[in-house]
Amino acid sequence: MAPVVPPAPKQRELCYEAFAVLHSGETRTPVFVAEKLNRQSILDADEKRSDKFFADARLPQGERAELSDYKGSGYTKGHMAPAANMPTPTAMDQSFSLANMVPQVARHNSGPWAKIENDTRKYASRAKGDVFVITGPVFDQSSVTIGANQVRVPSHLFKLVYDEQTGRAWAHWQANADSTKVGPPISYRELVQRTGLNLLPGMSQND
């Protein structure tokens, strides 16, 4: 079943070869990005990184981030569906859509967040079946914006991992900050409480 999120204006669904985005035209970022990983997809994910970021023309101009918003902002373009997960050259190119990005603190992006992404790949490569990964930003009242299009900077990021074979789910919850370190994951129930997003309908929130 598809994730259940509170209705909001300017939300649009975008499908790519290896991931799907629910995009917010208000924050100019994803609400969440969903991927399906498994042993084969990880084995195939050896594409050369393209690094060609682009604004997604499928989004109205007033609802999307532009490259100019990030330039000189002090934030990196943080992938929600990581480039290193992409199993084909087309998927690799598509992962650099700004619709798959949030403004992320550089030290967080290249440090603890990169470790979480790598650990998730390692888990998927060992799993007996499909592993669904849903990643997204969280904003608080004091969230700042960057650029002329006012792309919102998340206070936190989450990465929810669901192993279809075992029925287990857990989430990584990270402050978008220089001082962030990798900590223990939180439960799915805790993630729902913190975000208000029911990303796995039918999944018990007691786990």
- In sequence order, what DSSP letters do the residues of 55-85 get, joined into one string? --TTS-GGGS--HHHHTTSS-EEEESS-GGG
Number of domains in the chain: 1
Residue 204 has what pLDDT?
A: 66
CATH at 169: 3.40.570.10
201, part of any domain? no
Residue 156 annotated in active site: no
Looking at residue 186, its amino acid is I
Query: Cβ atoms within 10 A of the Cβ of 134, count?
Result: 24
pLDDT in tens, 168-191: 999 999 999 999 999 999 999 999
- Is there a domain that residue 170 lies in? yes
What are the pLDDT digits (tens) for 117-139?
999 999 999 999 999 999 999 99
Report the C-alpha gap between 83 and 43 in whole angstroms: 14
In a domain, 186, yes or no: yes
Residues 6+ apart with CB under 8 A from 158: 135, 136, 138, 171, 172, 173, 174, 191, 194, 195
Any domain includes 76: yes
Evaluate whether residue 117 is within a structural domain: yes
pLDDT, residue 206, reads 55
Q: What is the pLDDT of residues 39-74, one digit of tens each?
A: 999 999 988 898 999 999 999 999 999 999 999 999
- Angle of CA points 130, 136, 142, to nearest 5°: 165
Region 112-118: mean pLDDT is 98
Q: Which of 79, 108, 156, 172 is catalytic?
A: 79
User: What pLDDT does residue 200 have?
Assistant: 94
Residue 37 counted as domain residue = yes
Query: The domain containing residue 43 runs over which residues?
Result: 11-195
Taking the C-alpha atoms of 20, 30, 135 and 162 in order, what is their torsion angle to the nearest 10 degrees? -40
The pTM of this model reads: 0.96
Query: Is residue 23 domain-resident?
Result: yes
pLDDT of residue 7: 85
Residue 5 lies in a domain: no
Residue 158 pLDDT more than 80? yes
Amino acid at the residue 101 = M
